[in-house]
Amino acid sequence: MAGKRLSELAELVGGEIKGRGDALITGAAPLGEAGPGDVSFVSGRKHAGLLSRTRASAVVVRDAGEAPDGLNLILAGNPELAFARILGVLRPQAAPAPGVHPRAEVHPGAKLGSSVSVQAFSVVEDGARVGDRTVLFPGVYVGKGAEIGPDCVIYPGVAIREGCKIGARVIIHCNSVVGSDGFGYARDKARYVKMPQTGIVRIGDDVEIGACVAIDRATMGETVIGRGTKIDNLVQVAHNVRVGEDTIIVAQAGIAGSSRVGSRVQIGGQSGVNGHISIGDDTGIGARSGVAQDVPPRSVYTGYPAIPHTEWLRAQNLYSRLPELRKKISELEKRIAGLEADKAEKE
């Protein structure tokens, strides 16, 4: 079975070997499931106890610590990052063969780069551009005038609507929609009149978008997702939102129209962000929070409505004591009523 020597993997990640550098590594597995030939990793104390019981041939760790004698180690400053790179080498994803499938439809006015793969039932409309080595899996729709950069992977069922711009090395997972109409209507007495959504979506380089994500086109101008941002499954990004670089948006979060989300922000799952507000750089939003006002940079907000995390912790501590406090207040009310009655009798 093909594999890599432990010394090769250590060199790949800039790690130091403790043990046999000639050990052959053929696979990767979680620490508790790994067997001979597998490499695994430990990133914190939580799983360090499993080291003494693992059957893995090697483990990536920050330091030798409690590792038993005889266990091969790669010492790395960031074991999770090192393991991610090792996993990419041991389990590389096979790229589909370049070319246009006979059952795909590519308009004569579209432009495909070199080594592009357009698979069955995909459609590339007039004026669209697809960059070198990009893969369009079955059932992808690329609208009129849309642009996709090089080395992108667009999975089945994705729709990239007309005019939208996708950067380089972008990954979009199944059934996501980039450039659907924003939810915009003008009120005419009891009826709603659709506001034409004439803008686009612009996705930066190295963005990854999960499954069933909807990113709406701008009413005018652009909805923007910045370079390196990662979006989990089932996220809604409304029209004219701008998201900065290297931001994380977790599953089932929703961002309302014209909001600004900074760079290196982390938005927890099932959170909601109100429209027309700003979230500063380097900010954390706790899971299931409702952000209704601007959030300053380098802060952490939690709760519904979202407040600074330290205030939320104090409020939660108080909330758990409400039954006890209610009982004490009731007792105090009775005592005060008794004292007032005694005072009235004496008077």
Q: CB neighbours (10 Å) of residue 111? A: 14
pTM over 0.85: yes
Which residues are designated catalytic? 239
Give tens-digit pLDDT for 237-254.
Answer: 999 999 999 999 999 999
Give tens-digit pLDDT for 160-196.
Answer: 999 999 999 999 999 999 999 999 999 999 999 999 9
Whether the CA torsion 44, 46, 49, 53 is positive or negative: it is: negative
Q: Where are the domains of the chain?
A: 4-90, 99-309, 310-347
The rounded percent of the chain whose pLDDT value lies above 70 is 98
Fold of 99-309: UDP N-Acetylglucosamine Acyltransferase; domain 1 (2.160.10)
User: In the prediction, which pLDDT does 3 show?
Assistant: 85
The mean pLDDT of 258-279, rounded to a whole number, is 98
Do the domains at 4-90 and 99-309 have one common CATH topology?
no
Give tens-digit pLDDT for 83-137.
Answer: 999 999 998 888 899 999 999 999 999 999 999 999 999 999 999 999 999 999 9
Q: Is the pLDDT of residue 45 over 80?
A: no
Taking CA atoms, 181 is separated from 190, 194, 202, 224, in Å, by 22, 10, 14, 14
We find that the CATH architecture of domain 4-90 is 3-Layer(aba) Sandwich (3.40)
∠ at Cα 233 (231, 236), nearest 5°? 70
